[in-house]
Amino acid sequence: MRTAAIRSRMRQLGLAIAAMVLCSAATAAAEVPVQPYGTNDAGGFRNVLPPGENGLDNAAQLAAFQANGSYPPHFSDQLPLYAGLIHASPTLTREQIPNYFKDATFGAKEGDLASVESPRSDVTIARDGSYGVPHVYGSTRAGVMFGAGYAGAADRLFLMDVLRHAARAEGSRPSKTSTTTLRGSTPTSRRRCSTRTSCPPSMPASASCRRNGSPPT
């Protein structure tokens, strides 16, 4: 009788594992594919976000900064572009623009895809390796909007939380879930530029969108 009970439990465990595998396979199949570089892009757009795409750090990165002054990935890699633009602006020519503004075309170039994640089945977020910019691809409008917010929180959760409390006149009550930033430790002030979400004029059922930047402060 004990053996029969053990066998019954083993069957139940096997069925549970099989169900989990099938669910995982279905989720993977439902993920939105990353489209080739330049798909659904009007062309000709460039931008710069000083000091960088990433505005958050974890405990290990904060400790590394305090120990040797090293920054997290994509934390300040666009600052040289912006700093150079200040001196070049009086005589800036069209040919010099690529020296101070990065390419803002949809998607990552071949060989420059750093990461891909799907926070839910109708959206995929791909980040390029050059500057860590998120490129959001969704099969639904809701998926694109969710992905844009998800990517924004990954890069600017602390800033978003500060602005949320400021709008409610609760600036002295930051959320306990906010992630620490290097704002108070960096030698230069972190200046923010505006958010630009690029989408086709009329978004089809399968749409792509890229969120690059953050709300102004």
pLDDT of residue 11: 61
Confidence band, pLDDT 50/70/90 cuts, at residue 173: low
- 109-138 pLDDT, tens per residue? 999 999 999 999 999 999 999 999 999 999
Residue 148, pLDDT > 70, answer yes
Contacts for 170 with CB less than 8 Å, ≥ 6 apart: none
Residue 51, pLDDT > 50, answer yes
Q: Which of 53-67, 121-135, 191-205 has the lowest mean pLDDT?
A: 191-205
Q: Which of 53-67, 148-162, 202-216 has the lowest mean pLDDT?
A: 202-216
pLDDT of residue 44: 83
Half-sphere exposure of 212 (CA within 13 A, CB side): 28
Sheet holding 123-128, edge to edge: 113-120, 123-128, 134-138, 207-212, 196-198
pTM of the entire predicted model: 0.64
- 1-35 pLDDT, tens per residue? 555 555 555 565 555 555 454 444 444 445 899 99
pLDDT of residue 153: 93
Q: Which of 29-43, 85-99, 192-206 has the lowest mean pLDDT?
A: 192-206
Beta bridge partners of 47: 102
Distance CA 171, CA 135 (A): 31
Distance CA 60, CA 72 (A): 10
Beta strands in 73-212 (DSSP E): 102-103, 113-120, 123-128, 134-138, 196-198, 207-212
